[in-house]
Structure 1
Amino acid sequence: MDGVIVSGVRATARIVAREDGRGATALPVLEGDGPLALRRTRGSGAEARVMLVGAMSGPLGGDAFAVETEVDSGARLRVGSAAATIALPGQVKGEAHYDVRLRVADHAELTWLPEQLISAKGSDLYVTTRVELGAAARLVLREEQVLGRVGEEPGRLASRLTVRVAGRVVLDQELACGPGAPSGWDGPAVLGGHRAVGQLVVVRPEFGVAPVAARVLGDGAALVPLAGPAVLVSAVAADALRLRRVLDEALAELG
């Protein structure tokens, strides 16, 4: 209708994890709205577990989603997602945004293992992941991006991952793929024709005392120590299944 301005969906999910005084982890805040629903699942020992459940398709063009997570001292939290996130074109022009903000206090632990993000043809998505860790915090974070569904060209996907430990930047990485991305994104220096790309960031205080050595992890993957108590595994693969296998093997090797 003429004169009507259509905007995308705005949605935020919030998780706060706190040690409950009895050796377990409580979730005093577990809030999701619109397409971002949160479900607590059965935990293990002191660890609480949360599943992010997409209640709607998206993000679509013009949407703005955010997930905010805080893990207080002494708490242990594992977060996953029920299914892959698919970036799709929408009726609203302009890019969609997916903003993930994670804060892990000293002597707290976060395991962040969502399913893949799939960039469908015609979509335009910008993802930011910002992690703030205490000096004695522990983190496992996995990101997996798949460019296009089967037999489909990808949409435009840009992402930035920033990790700080005790206020110090240990990782600030950006990647842009698909139509409109800088030339060379699919060349041998970046993806080399692969359609799945992923990162695994592991932060543990003991890595600051005994750094992990850099090494190649098979075809298309490498482990690199970062400044401070952190390591980065970067991998490319032909598809999501092979990418997951590489990252799982890397995590198992780190112990």
Structure 2
Amino acid sequence: MNPVEQLLEVMAALRNPERGCPWDLEQTYASLAPHTLEEAYEVAEAAEAGDLGELREELGDLLFQVVFYARIAEEADEFTFADVAAAIVEKLVRRHPHVFGEAVVADAAEQTEAWEAHKAAERQRKAADRGTEHLHSLLDGVSLALPALTRARKLQSRAARAGFDWPDIDGVFRKLDEEIRELREARAGADGPERVEAELGDLLFTCVNLARHAGVDPERALRAANHRFSSRFRYMEARLAAEGTAPEQAGPERLERLWAAAKDRLG
């Protein structure tokens, strides 16, 4: 028995109505969703850190999520893990005619365009199969469940394919200045917190556009910024602890000096 077969047997045992795990038996597609997102982020963290041992373990956790969904579906006679594997094999072959067929692409950029064209055609076919009267949109298929920064980048990229985009990054910088001004006006006005929230959302959306034009993944950039902030703040805490001082006792000027020292030391 190979490891994949063993994993499927372990999953079946966990879901056994008589002898299975009570927690596993309670799970549904919806209840698993937050755990799946968490596992995916842990895979990303290990990959970005270059920790291959951790990456192998986290990939196993993510694979278990796939097996879990498939097991619930199999119990309902909907589909099996083998069906999931077969579907992705068929999709990958279909979307790579330059590898499995006669098509030719010049480079990765051309392949990306071809990939998006295949996906767009698939979305249109699915809509036709459902008999839906929904007007086809370039924005179809951008999941609502994506992190907001990632979804914003995908929406902007789709719109850019129709020519709805700035010709260069200078236009995005000008838009950023405009959004900052509008946010200041909202803060100074009497429109209430809803206007401030809307203007702040527009500002963040423009920041994502700036990242896209700069060739930067905004989600990854913010994760890196979070890491830098955490490292620097912990450095400050350690320095203060060595002096027997809590951060809230240090005062703004002392904290600012320590922050500058942390930036010099840690980058």
Greater strand proportion: 1
**When the two structures are superposed, what TM-score results if normalisation uses the length of structure 2?**
0.24
Structure number with greater CO (CA < 8 Å, separation at least 6) is 1
Greater helix proportion: 2
Q: Which has the larger radius of gyration?
A: 2
